Amino acid sequence: MTDLDSQTGYWDAVAATKTFTHPLYAPWLAGVDRGAAVLDYGCGYGRTLEALTAHGFRDLAGVDTSAGMIERARALLAAPRFDVLTAPPETGRPDASVDLVVLFAVLTCVPRADAQRRLIAELDRVLRPGGLLYVSDYLLQDDARNRERYERFAERTGDHAYGVFETSDGAVCRHHTEDRLRTLLAGFEPVDCRRVTVSTMNGHEAAGAQFLVRKPPAPHGQDRGLGLRTTAGPGA
């Protein structure tokens, strides 16, 4: 993966200052056993893992490309296991070893389509059949400031993926259509989706979407059976 798709130097430099806000929607996790193995990919400083701990989850792990973010996470949270990714998107986890993967505001930080596909393939590999993938990310914004950012980046770089842009402090990010996110997750079974409004890491209000999807069960009822059942109501 190229530096554009991990941007480790940027994330290490801002590790102590950024605040992430994508909300954890607890009703989607009501049917997941609290002893399930949970992996937060791109965990940052551990904010979502802290929320999962508060909801009673006990087997928690977080990985991130930024050593600075992981250092901050370890200082804030004692219980989860944290590791720095040295060859992203490879997690170092065995095949089919995780019951739930959380992917919050990570695809936005991986602007290239091929790198996004490799990331989703790695998460599919580590998920057990019947396991859940919970994705939260930014949608394309329709305001003048963001449209100008998208167009400026495309003109400067020749990048034809509309929605890629550079932040004021130097990160290269990507916003997505809902169809783009659904295409990335096409190998999973849809469970639920919802729109959200979040603040960006630089304090701007933005539209986002959350998707809960399931890895297809193994044939002939070979699931491990950790209570990964759907109990969520309609997306809010």
Q: Write down the pLDDT at residue 6.
A: 86
Domain spanning 3-14+25-140+174-217 has what CATH number? 3.40.50.150
What's the confidence (pLDDT) of residue 213?
98
3-state secondary structure 119-186: HHHHHHHHEEEEEEEEEEEEECCCCHHHHHHHHHHHHHHCCCCCCEEECCCCCEEECECHHHHHHHCC
Model confidence over 155-170: pLDDT tens digits? 998 877 899 999 999 9
Residues (pLDDT < 70) of the chain are: 1-2, 220-236
Residue 138 pLDDT: 97
> Which pLDDT does position 2 carry in this prediction?
46
